[in-house]
Amino acid sequence: MNNNKQPRQGNFVKNILMWVILAIVVVVGFNFFFGTNHANVDKISYSQLMTKLSDDDIKTVTMQPSDSLITVTGEYKKPVKVDNAASFPLLGNSTTEVKQFQAYIIPTDSIIKDLQDTAKSNDIKVNVIQASSSGMWVQILSYIVPMLLFVGIFWLMMGGMNRGGGGGGNPMSFGKSRAKQQDGKTSKVRFADVAGSEEEKQELVEVVDFLKNPKKYHDLGARIPAGVLLEGPPGTGKTLLAKAVAGEAGVPFYSISGSDFVEMFVGVGASRVRDLFENAKKTAPSIIFIDEIDAVGRQRGAGLGGGNDEREQTLNQLLVEMDGFQDDGNSVIVIAATNRSDVLDPALLRPGRFDRKVLVGAPDVKGREAVLKVHAKNKPLASDVDLHNVATQTPGYVGADLENVLNEAALVAARQNKTEINAADIDEGMDRAMAGPAKKDRIQSMREREIVAYHEAGHAIVGLVLENGSTVRKVTVVPRGRIGGYMLALPDEEIMQPTNFHLKDQLASLMGGRLGEEIVFGVATPGASNDIEKATQIARSMVTEYGMSKKLGMVSYEGDHQVFIGRDYGQTKTYSEATAVMIDDEVRRILGEAYDRAKEAIETHREQHKAIAEALLKYETLDAKQIMSLFKTGKMPDEAAAAEVPEPKTFEESLKDANANVEDFSNINIYNGEEEKTDSKPAEDAEDKE
C-alpha cells in the first residue's frame, strides 16, 4: 500500500513546488516590468524637460549618473495630468494628476551644462547624487527575469501535457512511450473468454506456444510471424483476442493506440516507437499491441501534402523496429488491430513484418449464441429466454452489439423492478439496440397510423409470397427514433453468399412498403426513403460489382479511388460517360422489375394485406405466428382456433345423429363369403310366382 502512495505523494509535492516557482516568477516579472511605472510619476523626454525648465514649471531637480544614462527626477510646482494608457494599457484612457517627473539624458558635457544653466537661470538648484551600485544587477535582471518567466510557463504547459498523457510531469518525457504495460501473469483474460471466434483463436495458438516454448521452434529453424494483423469490423473482439494471447502466454503486454505516436513536435513519434520497442525487448518475450494502427500506418505519399511529415517519420521508424528484431532470441511479437487494412502501407504488410493476417469477422449463429452465453453469465435470465432464438434473430451482429442487446434488456428489466430478465425484455433490448427507444407518446393522426400500418403490411406480404424471400419474424408500427415502424425478416438459414434470385426478392420486399401506400391510399410518403436507398445500393452493386447484368457483363466498374489513400487522385471513375448511362439504365431496370413483382404480389393478396394492416392498427406489434395466421386465415391465432371448434349439440341432435349412423343389416345376405344386397319386395314377388 505504501509503495502505491509514494509516487502519488511525490507527484503532489512536485506539482506544488512547480506552482510556487511559477507564482514567484510571475510576481518578480510583474514587479520588474511594472514596478517602476508608478501612477504618480510623469515620464518625460529631454526636450520636454528643457521646455518645462524654461517655463519655470519645475520646483526641484535631482541628477543620478550611471554608466550609460543620467536619471533626472524632480517635482513640479503644480500637479499635471498624465495619461495612463502608455504604462497601463488595461486602464484604458484614464488620466492621473502627478507632481513627480522622471527623464533620462545622455551623459555629455554639453547636455549637462545646458541643463544646469537653464535650471540656474530659473533659480532651481540641481542636486547631484552618486551613481547607484545596483545598476548592474538591474541590467542582469532585465535579461534573467523574462527568461525565467518563459521557462516557467513552458514547464507548466509541458508538465500538464505529460500528466494528461501519462508523462509523469517530466517536461522532457514527451518523447517517451505512452504504452500501458500489463503483466501477463496477472491478466485474467483467456481464450475461454473470447467466444464466437474459434478459427481466429486457432490462428493465435501458435503465437502463444512460441512465446511459451521458443526453443522448440528455433531448433527446427522455424520463424514465427513477427507481426499478427487482426482486421475486421469494429466490435468483433480484436482487442480482446490480443489480451487473451497475452493472458495465455503469461508474458508482459504493452498496449498503445496508433494515434498516441503522432504528436505536434517533429520526431516525437519516432522517439516513442524506439522507446516502446526498447522497453519491450528488456522484458522479452513480450507482446506489443497497437490498436487502430491505420492512424500511423497509412500509405506513405498520400494526399496533397509533402511526404516528409511527422506521421511518415513515425511509420519509417516502426518499419525499422519490426524488421528482423525477433532473431536475437528475445522474442517480441507485435499484434495490431484495424478495420481499414486497405489503407495500410504495403511495406508494413510484407512478410517479415505483419506476415500473418487474421480476419475477425461477424460470428455465425453458433458463434453469436456462444457470445451471448459469455455475456449472460452475470445476468439472471428467466426460463422463457432462449439464447439460440436470440442468436437466430440477430444476423450480422458482432460481439459488441450482442453485449449491448443484453445490457439494454437488463436496463429494461431494472426499470420495471424485476429480479430476472425475461424474453420480452430481450426483445425490447433488440429493438432499442437496433432503432432506439420506443416513442409511444408521439402524437400521430389516424390517417398517418393507417399509412404506416399498410406500409409495413406491404413489406410483410411481399416477404411471405416470394419464394426466396426471408421469413417475416416481426412487424410493428411503434415509432422508434426516426422510423415510424419496421418489419423484421430473417432467412431460415443464414446465407453467406446470396444468389441473384435472393437479391431480386430482397429488392421486391423493399419495394413493398411504398406499394402498400400507393395501392390503398394512392399517395407516396417519405417513409420509403430508406427502403429506396437500400434498394438502389443493392441494384448498383449487382451491376457494377457482382456482374449480374447481362447487358454490361461480368465487369467490375467500382474501384477504390479515395484521395486520402494516395491512389488515383482526381480520378472519380474508370469508365466512360456512355458506360455510366448504361449502368444507370440497368439499375433503373432492375428496380423497375422489383417494383412490378411487389405490385403483383400485393394486388393478388389484397385481403391478407388488409387483415395484417388492421391487426397492426389494433395490436401495434405482430410476431411470426400471428402474421402467418393472418395470412392464411385472416384472423389472429386465438380467433382462428376458436372458429374451428364446433358449438356443442343438444341431446336430441346427438341422438338423431346416432340413429342415422346405425346400419341396417336386414337387406344383406351372406353368399359364398360375399355380401349381396337384395330388395325384400322383389323377393316376395318371386315367392308368389313360385
**Residues tagged active-site:** 456
Report how far residue 638's alpha carbon sits from residue 633's, in angstroms, rounded to the nearest whole number: 11
**Strand 58-65 to 70-83 pairing:** antiparallel
C-alpha cell at 218: 528455433
Report how far residue 212's alpha carbon sits from residue 200's, in angstroms, rounded to the nearest whole number: 19
Strands of 58-65's sheet in order across: 41-43, 95-105, 70-83, 58-65, 126-128
Report how far residue 493's alpha carbon sits from residue 483's, in angstroms, rounded to the nearest whole number: 27
DSSP lists the bridge partners of residue 298 as 344
| In contact, 403 and 237? CB cutoff 8 Å | no
DSSP structural state of residue 298: B
Residue 118 C-alpha from the chain's centroid: 81
Q: Which amino acid is residue 428, in one-letter code? A: E
What are the phi and psi torsion angles at 482 (to 5°)? -95, 0
DSSP structural state of residue 564: G
Q: Which of 36, 107, 103 is nearest to 68 (CA)?
A: 107
Report how far residue 47's alpha carbon sits from residue 551's, in angstroms, rounded to the nearest whole number: 96
Peptide bond into 285 cis (omega under 30): yes
Q: Please report how many Cα atoms fall inside a 13 Å half-sphere around the Cα of residue 128, on the Cβ side.
A: 7
What are the phi and psi torsion angles at 655 (to 5°)? -65, -40
Report how far residue 402's alpha carbon sits from residue 534's, in angstroms, rounded to the nearest whole number: 24
DSSP lists the bridge partners of residue 41 as 100
**Residue written as grid cell 516557482:** 21
Q: Which amino acid is residue 663, in one-letter code? A: E
Report how far residue 564's alpha carbon sits from residue 560's, in angstroms, rounded to the nearest whole number: 11
DSSP structural state of residue 437: S
Helix (H) or strand (E) holding 519: helix 500-521
Q: Which amino acid is residue 397, in one-letter code? A: Y
The set of residues, in sequence order, having a beta carbon less than 8 Å from that of 332 and lying 6+ positions away, is 277, 280, 281, 284, 285, 286, 287, 288, 325, 326
| In contact, 79 and 99? CB cutoff 8 Å | yes
Q: Which amino acid is residue 70, in one-letter code? A: I
CB-based burial label for 247 (10 Å; 0-12, 13-18, 19+): buried
DSSP lists the bridge partners of residue 231 as 338, 359
Biggest alpha carbon distance in the chain? 193
DSSP string covering 52-108, please? Answer: HHHTT-EEEEEEEE-SS-EEEEEEEEEEEEEESTTT-GGGTT-EEEEEEEEEEE---
| Cα angle: 640, vertex 646, 652; to 5 degrees | 170
Q: Which of 606, 608, 605, 615 is nearest to 639 (CA)?
A: 615
Residue 28 C-alpha from the chain's centroid: 49
**Strand 674-677 to 668-671 pairing:** antiparallel
